[in-house]
Structures are given as C-alpha cells and as structure tokens.
Amino acid sequence: MSQKSTQKEKVQENETEKEKETTTKSNKAKTKKTGQFSKHLVCGICGELFYQTVIITKCLHCFCGGCLSTYFQENDNEECPICNVSDLQVKNFELLDNLVRDFLLENPEKERKKEILEELNKKNGFLDENKNNKEETEKKKKKKKKKIEKKKKIEKKKKIEKKGQSKTKNSCSICSLSGNQIQPIKEYNLTKLPKSLFSYNKFERGVLVKYLEDQDFSFQDMWEQIMKALENGAYSSTDAPNFHNLSPNDKSCESCLEGVVSELIYSYRTNIPNSELPPKITKRQNCWYGRNCRTQKKYDHSSKLNHICEQTKK
C-alpha cells in the first residue's frame, strides 16, 4: 500500500508541475501578446497609453489630446510631432479610447495615476468644453493684440507727425531734403544772376540787366522788391507755376535755390510795365513756345521774338 501511495503522489506532483509549466507558458504568451498589442495604444509624445485620443486626419498619427495640445502651445506651431505635416485637421478618436479601456480591464496595473489623467484632461484643447475656453482665451488674446497694434499705430503716427514737424523746420520747402546749407529765401544775398535764368536766353538776360541799370537797382535791390511782392501776394501761381505758394520765410537748399531765384526773377520780369522798357523790346511778337522755347538760346531768334510769355502752341 505504501508503494502504491508513493507512486500516486509522484504522479500528482508531476501533473502539478506540468500544470505550472503550462500556466507559466500561457502567462508568458499572454504577456508577450499584451506587450505587442499595447505598442499600438501608446501616444507618440508621452509614450504612455492613449487618453482622450485624437487623430491627425492627414497623416493618421494619434496622440493623447492633452499631449498634442501642449505640444502645439510649446512649439508655437501646428505640425505633426512625428512627421511634421502641417495644415492639420485634428479629430477625437473614440475607437482607440475604447480599445484602451478594454485593455485596461485586463491590465489594470497599466492605468496611469488619476492626477495625471486630470491634468491631461485640463490641457486637452480638443474637448468641446476646453475648446470653448480656448476660443474665449484666443478672443481675449486677439483683442489684446489689436489694442497693442492700435497703440503702436498711434505712436507711429505721432512719430511721423513729429518727424514731419522737424522736417518742416529743418528741411527744404521745395525738395523736403534736410541739410546744413538751408536758409529762408528772404535771407538770400543776390550778387549775380543765375546761369539758367530765362532758360539760358542771353538776350532776355541783357534786357533785364539794362533795365536794372536804368533804374539804378542792384541785384539785391531787385531781390528785396521780389520778396515784398511775394509777401503781398503780387505773384500768382501762374507767374511762378513751378513754385506755388512760396513765401519769403520758406527755406531752400543750395540745389533748389537757383531754380527758385530764376523763377521769381521771371515773375519780376513779367511784371515790369512795357512803358519802362524800350520799344524795340516791347514791339516783338511773342514766340509760340514762349518760355519753353528750345531755340531761344540763339541770339538771333531771341532778339526777334519775345520769350517772357507762356507757351501757346504745342
């Protein structure tokens, strides 16, 4: 009896060991299978099981909603963290959430701590509730941004106005450029006639010089008369078409000065009464092209026709 009992015990022990081996193998296989399965349920950002899964429809990469929201905020762009695809459309992916839920029923030890999940929930900008908060925040940001931009525009406008005022004080009234050799027109000391006077018409230049000599006027005397006439509005815009609305206090740079002086002397010349000029000067017919005539540089042409007039023929 004792031998039979011993043999029976040995058989039972062998069976128990076999059962243990089978269970161990089964558990190993299950663990291996679980590990392989869980790989497909892991977020590409945090490396943990998906929570409130979202999918990028363009590339089909999936992430935890909270992880992807945080990634977008921290990187200040909306590109896929894995493949960098842009112009994204992100949607909630409940199918993966359900798979994770089923997986956790069999593997509860894999579930993350409650505090971590709550934090992810707060960060998830793809939930409807969080979306509303996010939209509200974005509205506030946009409003603040507009306010800042408006303030900047006002400041910029003020700077431009200030610069314009400064420019008016220290720049040429004709070309608006600033520089050291800028002075009011009335302070100009006219010691000689500009070379380009009357478009280089030497005959008309001689007529003016002779007139000034007869009147016993110096060039500076003429200039002072011009300034008085300018101040009193005696020269209309048609008298000086290239320099409208000039005043004696307007400033001119050295480059523009010759043109200003020539134009004002032309206006002075047009206002000299015919009675104060020789008949041979006043009896000349007007040139069709007037002051714009390109032939007036030739003495023969300019002596026969008057060029102190506006163009009448095109």
Are 119 and 230 found together in one domain?
no
Radius of gyration of the chain (CA): 48
Please report which confidence band the pLDDT of residue 247 belongs to, taking 50, 70 and 90 as the band edges: confident
| Per-residue model confidence (pLDDT) at position 4 | 52
Domain membership of residue 236 (yes or no) is yes
| Per-residue model confidence (pLDDT) at position 238 | 46
Tokens 């006077």 — which residue?
Answer: 197
| Per-residue model confidence (pLDDT) at position 200 | 93
Q: In angstroms, rounded to a whole number, what is the distance separating the alpha carbons of residues 80 and 77?
A: 9
Look at residues 94, 126, 158 and tell me which one is the last residue of a structural domain: 126
Q: Is the CA virtual torsion 281, 283, 285, 286 positive or negative?
A: positive
Phi and psi, residue 129, nearest 5° = -65, -45
Are 300 and 194 found together in one domain?
yes
Domain membership of residue 120 (yes or no) is yes
Domain membership of residue 8 (yes or no) is no
Q: What is the pLDDT of residues 27-67, one digit of tens each?
A: 554 455 555 667 788 999 999 999 999 999 999 999 999 99
Are 187 and 122 found together in one domain?
no
Are 52 and 118 found together in one domain?
yes
Are 49 and 116 found together in one domain?
yes
Q: What is the pLDDT of residues 275-301, one digit of tens each?
A: 999 999 999 999 999 999 999 999 999
Average pLDDT for 232-249: 65
Are 114 and 193 found together in one domain?
no
Q: In angstroms, rounded to a whole number, what is the distance separating the alpha carbons of residues 229 and 182?
A: 22
232: buried, middle or exposed (CB in 10 Å: 19+, 13-18, 0-12)? exposed
Kindly report the CA angle at 128 between 127 and 133, in degrees rounded to 5?
95
The pTM for the full model equals: 0.47
Domain membership of residue 175 (yes or no) is no
Count up the domains in the chain and report the number: 2
Are 190 and 302 found together in one domain?
yes
**Cβ(307)–Cβ(291) under 8 Å?**
yes
Look at residues 88, 111, 126 and tell me which one is the last residue of a structural domain: 126
Domain membership of residue 292 (yes or no) is yes
Find the domain containing 290 and state its range.
Answer: 183-306
Tokens 């940001």 — which residue?
Answer: 141
